Amino acid sequence: MRLEWANLLAFFAMGVATYATRLGGLWLVAALRPSRTVKAALDAVPVAVLTAVIAPEIVKGGPPDLIAAALTLLAAFRLPLLAAVALGVAAAVALRAVMA
Amino acid sequence: MSLPPDDEAPAHSSALAEFRAGVLTVLPVEIATVPFALLLGALAAQKGLSPLEVAAMSGIVFAGSSQFVALGLWQDPAPWALLAATAFTVNLRHVMMGASISRHLGRFGPVTKPVAMFFLADEIWAFAEKRALAAPLTPAYWAGLAGVFYLNWIAWTAVGAGLGAILTEPERYGFDFVFSAVFIGLIAGFWRGSRSAVVIAASAGMALLVERLAGGVWHIVAGGTAGAMVAAVLASLGGEAGDEA
């Protein structure tokens, strides 16, 4: 099967660039010697980044996705993760079908 | 069977249990990834890449969104500098993720740490952060999260390149919402009262604004930074109260 050198070079270039971003956070924290304020910022990173990833997609999905997202969040406070996800996806599929 | 009973090899069996827990935790998300892997492979085949090349790309880069963006820019010959620069910007969010998870890598050695970081993908990172709330994060758990997920991604993207376009709209079947729903569920797990609501509002607001103004990929880093900075401001305003919550 075909494996061109030019393509392989491009994959490695992308891979090195990506790996640099993966190591960058470790270097950053090692260099910063986090203060209490920095620690508070880092503690908020999971919620902040997860929110930033999904917010535009959910808004793009319109009312069905917004309602399904709200239902998922409510469910997630009461149910195990997997059950909340199943409920949320079922709601999204149903609402998209009904409201489209 | 010549396997030793569990109590004769406690260290080994607990590493195995950690590994298995990681595998099982990520399994549902892994299944939801398959349609997107097939789609990525099909797009790559349209650009003239062979299944072997797609497998190489997935194994070397292992970052779905940047692979999709790269295929949008793909030409023959491959513009490698542009592709690398684009991958870097798309994946800048890893810097924030790595900074946050680095504080939970106490059980990772000087070699294990950089090896583990190669597998820092959104889903693996998010589940690792969740694990760190409840128990010390171990290399075995990380390997469980990352190992099968990694092989799954390579295999299904290659299969997609071989099959071509059999599944063109994963969102029609709700597969796209699986990722949103998992991330929402994890956010609930990280919840720390009204403080979290403020972080979410800042992050979502900034992400939506930047996405509208700039498009592309900057909204994740912008939103994540806004949320983290708001948390830092709240902590410095709140004084000692910032430690509880």
Whether B54 contacts B158, CB under 8 Å: yes
* CA gyration radius, chain B: 20
Residue A62 distance to chain B (closest CA, Å): 13
| ipTM score | 0.89
Report the distance separating Cα B21 and Cα B58, nearest Å: 25
| Interchain proximity B228–A16, CB inside 8 Å | no
User: Dihedral sign, CA of B79, B81, B84, B89?
Assistant: negative
Chain B residues with CB under 8 Å of A11 CB are: 53, 56-57, 60-61
Chain B residues with CB under 8 Å of A14 CB are: 57, 60-61, 66, 70, 80, 83-84, 87
Q: What is the pLDDT of residues A23-77, one digit of tens each?
A: 999 999 888 877 888 889 988 999 999 999 899 999 999 999 999 999 999 999 9
Average confidence score pLDDT of chain B: 87
Confidence class of residue B1 from pLDDT cuts 50, 70 and 90? very low
* pLDDT at B166 (0 to 100): 64
* pLDDT at B105 (0 to 100): 96
* pLDDT at B170 (0 to 100): 65
For the beta carbon of residue B57, count every other beta carbon within 10 angstroms. 28
Report the distance separating Cα B50 and Cα A2, nearest Å: 6
Q: What is the pLDDT of residues B12-64, one digit of tens each?
A: 569 999 999 999 999 988 988 888 899 889 889 988 999 999 999 999 999 98
Q: What is the pLDDT of residues B76-105, one digit of tens each?
A: 888 899 899 889 988 989 999 999 999 999
For the beta carbon of residue A67, count every other beta carbon within 10 angstroms. 15
Whether B203 contacts A55, CB under 8 Å: yes
Instruction: Answer yes or no: is pLDDT of B244 > 60.
Output: no
Answering whether pTM is above 0.90, one says no
From residue A32, give the alpha-carbon distance in Å to each of A28, B88, B170, B234.
Answer: 6, 22, 42, 20
Report the distance separating Cα B86 and Cα B218, nearest Å: 11
Report the distance separating Cα B161 and Cα B140, nearest Å: 32
* pLDDT at A84 (0 to 100): 93
| Interchain proximity A41–B229, CB inside 8 Å | yes
Report the distance separating Cα A84 and Cα A72, nearest Å: 6
* pLDDT at B76 (0 to 100): 83
Measured in whole angstroms, the distance separating CA B12 from the mean position of its chain's CA atoms is 28
Name the least confident of A29-43, A72-86, B188-202. Answer: A29-43
Interface size, chain A vs chain B, as Cβ–Cβ contacts under 8 Å: 288
Tell me the three state secondary structure of residue B174.
coil
Q: Once rounded to an integer, what is the mean pLDDT over residues B210-234?
A: 90
| Interchain proximity A25–B101, CB inside 8 Å | yes
| Interchain proximity A20–B88, CB inside 8 Å | yes
User: How is B16-80 classified by DSSP, letter by letter?
Assistant: HHHHHHHHHHHHHHHHHHHHHHHHHHHHHHHTT--HHHHHHHHHHH--HHHHHHHHHH--SS--H
